[in-house]
């Protein structure tokens, strides 16, 4: 099949290079030197940066109050195959110019949905073949694929958790095709984001049955993909709400409980998103620590919310303190298990220059690079780790150690407390810890 061609979409832009922090070039990386080694790996290996197909090549800036403001040349052809191929050309040009190795996609980001399952299947096959050729010549890879089981009106009451079995079957058909496409594209992971898996009203909802159905559905998807030879990891992406009033994959702790309860913990890990963490009234650092301490820190959707209104605004990350604290947790748990950093973020509706999408990714990338460099210095050059470990010093020997290792009874605690009397006050030194973080940024 012939590639469409030599049309250049981002004409004003050349390849983005690392120029160092003294550079004044707004179209260069100031901190992201892909081959720089930090904590034993190159930045390229640590991060596996990915472009989100939906935000960068599909989203046009529409909001509930008005239509899109960004016009994409590649989405104009009325023929769905032509439009999809042009979109893929634009996407690969963009990803390559940024110097990224990966992208992430939903099934119908790649090509418009057909009017029957067989039409959708044949469209997906066509675009997968086309993209596979582009992958070969560019070296760009798929970090993860997923199915958009939330936009089509048939999913208004849920997909895998819909009270109508016929809709569940349709969701199954869609996930089968999305898995096929992900596997055919060599996708390293597969994501489930349960956008409509939850409820608008508890009055009409049987939570227990819906959760059982969701677990059944995920097991079937896992078994199918494994049967097709898929070796990657499945990720659940928690989000507490929006579009539903309540979503079952509320946060990392809820998802871990669910995966353990239904015997899915061996195949599934977690894809955490900054803005979803803040919607759940957590910090991203909290979500990462919960996932990391359970061996489930799989992947990251990078963005940020609005600190005042709390919406899922999907802005590009630029908060150094927030991301540095997140990178501390990242390094403490040895990085991501199979995943990478996917920019699930969009430029603002009034960012209408072609360069804006480049500035956005450059800023996000540099925020992560600068933050992991700072986090590594905090761990290796400051007394941060020691101060943190010292707080637990009393468990390293004597009765504290006996307690940790299960050799004491409650009655022993009574005797120890009675013998030692009132404990000394030991400062938690929060402000001191906060100052260390700022010192290294």
Q: Where do contacts with ligand XLS occur on this chain (CB under 6 A)?
A: 106, 146, 191, 193, 237, 239, 273, 301, 312, 344
Contacts of 380 (CB under 8 A, 6+ apart): 39
- Judged by CB under 5 A, does residue 197 bind Ni ion? no
The yes-or-no answer on residue 396 being catalytic is no
Segment contacting Ni ion by CB under 5 A, of 43-51, 97-105, 175-183, 294-302: 294-302
Give yes or no for a contact between 300 and 336, defined as CB atoms under 8 angstroms apart.
yes
CA angle (259, 263, 265) in 5-degree steps: 50
What is the SS3 assignment for 18? strand
Shortest Å distance, C-beta 151 to ligand XLS: 10
Q: Which is nearer to ligand XLS, 222 or 276 (CB)?
A: 276
> In this structure, what token pair is assigned to residue 232?
């990657």
Structure tokens at 402: 């006996």
Q: Of 109, 180, 251, 314, which is the active-site residue?
A: 109
Q: Helices in 10-56 by DSSP H: which ranges?
A: 43-47, 53
Pick from 101, 273, 325, 376: which binds Ni ion (CB under 5 A)?
273
Q: Cβ atoms within 10 A of the Cβ of 83, count?
A: 17
Q: How far apart are CA 16 and CA 49, in angstroms?
A: 14
The Cα 399–Cα 426 span in angstroms is: 18
Binding of Ni ion by 101 (CB under 5 A): no
What are the two backbone dihedrals, phi and then psi, of residue 90, each rounded to the nearest 5 degrees? -65, -45
CB of 162 to ligand XLS, least distance (A): 17
Binding-site partner at residue 300 among ligand XLS, Ni ion, none, CB < 5 to 8 Å by type: none
Q: Which does 197 bind (CB under 5 to 8 A by kind): Ni ion, ligand XLS, none?
A: none
Those residues with Cβ within 8 angstroms of residue 8's Cβ, 6 or more apart along the chain or in another chain = 93
Q: Which of 344, 358, 375, 376 binds Ni ion (CB under 5 A)?
A: 344
Q: Closer CB to Ni ion, residue 342 or residue 371?
A: 342
Residue 301 found at the interface with Ni ion (CB under 5 A): yes
Q: Is 106 a catalytic residue?
A: yes
Contacts with Ni ion in 162-181 (CB under 5 A)?
A: none
**Where along the sequence are the contacts to Ni ion (CB under 5 A)?**
273, 301, 344
Supply the residues annotated as catalytic. Answer: 106, 109
């Amino acid at each position: 099949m012939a590639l469409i061609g030599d049309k250049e979409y981002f004409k004003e832009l050349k390849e983005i290079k690392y120029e160092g922090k003294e550079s004044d070039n707004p179209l260069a990386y100031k901190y992201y030197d892909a081959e720089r080694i930090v904590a034993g790996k190159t930045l390229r290996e640590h991060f596996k940066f990915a472009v989100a197909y939906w935000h960068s090549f599909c989203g046009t800036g529409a909001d509930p109050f008005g239509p899109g403001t960004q016009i994409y040349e590649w989405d104009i052809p009325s023929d769905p195959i032509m439009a999809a191929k042009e979109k893929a050309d634009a996407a690969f040009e963009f990803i390559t110019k940024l110097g990224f190795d990966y992208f992430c996609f939903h099934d119908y980001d790649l090509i418009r949905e057909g009017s029957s399952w067989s039409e959708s299947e044949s469209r997906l096959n066509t675009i997968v073949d086309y993209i596979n050729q582009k992958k070969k010549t560019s070296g760009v890879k798929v970090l993860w694929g997923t199915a958009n089981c939330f936009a089509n009106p048939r999913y208004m009451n849920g997909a895998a958790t819909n009270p109508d079995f016929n809709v569940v079957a349709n969701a199954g058909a869609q996930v089968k095709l999305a898995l096929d496409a992900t596997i055919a594209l060599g996708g390293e992971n597969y994501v489930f984001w349960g956008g409509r898996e939850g409820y608008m009203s508890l009055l009409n909802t049987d939570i227990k049955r819906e959760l059982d159905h969701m677990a059944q559905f995920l097991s079937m998807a896992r078994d199918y993909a494994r049967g097709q030879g898929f070796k990657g990891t499945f990720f659940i992406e928690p989000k507490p709400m929006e579009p539903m009033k309540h979503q079952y994959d509320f946060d990392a702790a809820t998802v871990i409980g669910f995966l353990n309860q239904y015997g899915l913990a061996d195949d599934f890990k977690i894809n955490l998103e900054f803005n979803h963490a803040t919607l759940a009234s957590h910090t991203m650092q909290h979500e990462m620590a919960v996932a990391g301490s359970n061996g489930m820190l799989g992947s990251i959707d990078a963005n940020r919310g609005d600190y005042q209104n709390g919406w899922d605004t999907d802005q590009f990350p630029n908060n150094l303190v927030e991301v540095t604290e997140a990178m501390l947790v990242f390094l403490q748990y040895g990085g991501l298990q199979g995943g990478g950093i996917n920019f699930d973020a969009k430029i603002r509706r009034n960012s209408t220059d072609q360069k804006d999408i480049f500035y956005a990714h450059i800023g996000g990338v540099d925020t992560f690079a600068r933050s992991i460099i700072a986090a590594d210095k905090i761990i290796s050059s400051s007394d941060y780790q020691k101060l943190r470990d010292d707080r637990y010093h009393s468990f390293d020997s004597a009765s504290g150690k006996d307690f940790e290792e299960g050799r004491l009874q409650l009655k022993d605690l009574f005797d120890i407390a009675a013998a030692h009397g009132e404990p000394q006050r030991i400062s938690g030194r929060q402000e001191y810890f906060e100052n260390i973080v700022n010192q290294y940024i």
